[in-house]
Amino acid sequence: MGGAMAKAVAGSGLFENKDILVFDKDETKTQKLAEEIGVNVRDNEKEVAEDSDYLVLAVKPFHYKSVLEEIKGHIKDDALIIVIAVGINFEDVYDVLGETKVVRVQPSTPAMVLESATTFYPDENITKEEIEDLHTIFKTFGTSEVLSEELMAAVPSIASSAPAYALMLISAMADGACLHGFSREQATRLSAQSVLGAAKLVLESGESPDVLKDRICTPGGTTIEAVCKLEECGFRSSVIKAVDACAKKSKKMLQ
């Protein structure tokens, strides 16, 4: 995730690429980034923290405490700490670093193709101007929205985790197409384009997905036949239950 964000920001021209500082214990990752986009590789977390205005902690939740302990005392006074791990809240950061500027952010893997649905919740120490700056940064790899603390706890269910549901749909559609003679490559390509097109239609038309769906369902036609089978098999119910389960798990991790 950190690599995808770095590539997007580098490609946007917002900053000089040499001003994007990176560190990872796996040197092959940072070396690859340096070769691809010319980022500035540092030797450890402290060196990154000491010179960063926006400090992105792109590590797994169980590594956060040790990383925070490592950079404690090495952060610029006006630095903004960007937390992207599910289950890490403001208090977890304050407990180690003391009062500082923190924003909880949920990007998603489509950031790799500049299509992340990124959401964030800033703490009370962050100014309106800084929020606008964050929007500008996050929009380099997709869309950006500020959410309330309550919604932020549940947002993985329809944003950062949700691409997995869509990928399962594409895979299942391709399986069905292979039953009828399509090659795996062609079936996957056509299925993925259909999902992409449907999503773009919703976003750009501003109309309800149900209204758009009904326009495709010609009475007595092929689409309504497929829709009826999906309903018979509990398609909507399964998706709703999946979103609910994901949201509950996310909230539980913050307790």
Give the model's pLDDT for residue 133. Answer: 96
CA distances to 2, 117, 123, 187 from 109, rounded to whole Å, are 10, 9, 24, 23
d(C-alpha 64, C-alpha 73), whole Å: 16
Give one DSSP letter per residue of 207-253, joined into a string.
Answer: --HHHHHHHH--TTSHHHHHHHHHHHTTHHHHHHHHHHHHHHHHHHH
Which tokens in the block code for residue 1?
């995730």
Q: For the segment 5-44, what is each residue's pLDDT rounded down to a tens digit? A: 999 999 999 999 999 999 999 999 999 999 999 999 999 9
Give the model's pLDDT for residue 86. Answer: 87
Domains and CATH numbers, the chain: 2-155 (3.40.50.720), 163-253 (1.10.3730.10)
Give the model's pLDDT for residue 63. Answer: 92
CA distances to 8, 81, 145, 154, 168 from 105, rounded to whole Å, are 16, 10, 10, 12, 25
Q: For the segment 192-238, what is each residue's pLDDT rounded down to a tens digit? A: 999 999 999 999 999 999 999 999 999 999 999 999 999 999 999 99
Give the model's pLDDT for residue 7. Answer: 94
pLDDT at 2 over 80: yes
pLDDT at 154 over 90: yes
Give the model's pLDDT for residue 87. Answer: 87
Which tokens in the block code for residue 60?
């797994």
- Could you give the percent of the chain with pLDDT greater than 70? 100
142 near 115, Cβ under 8 Å? yes
d(C-alpha 24, C-alpha 6), whole Å: 13
Is the pTM for the entire model greater than 0.85?
A: yes
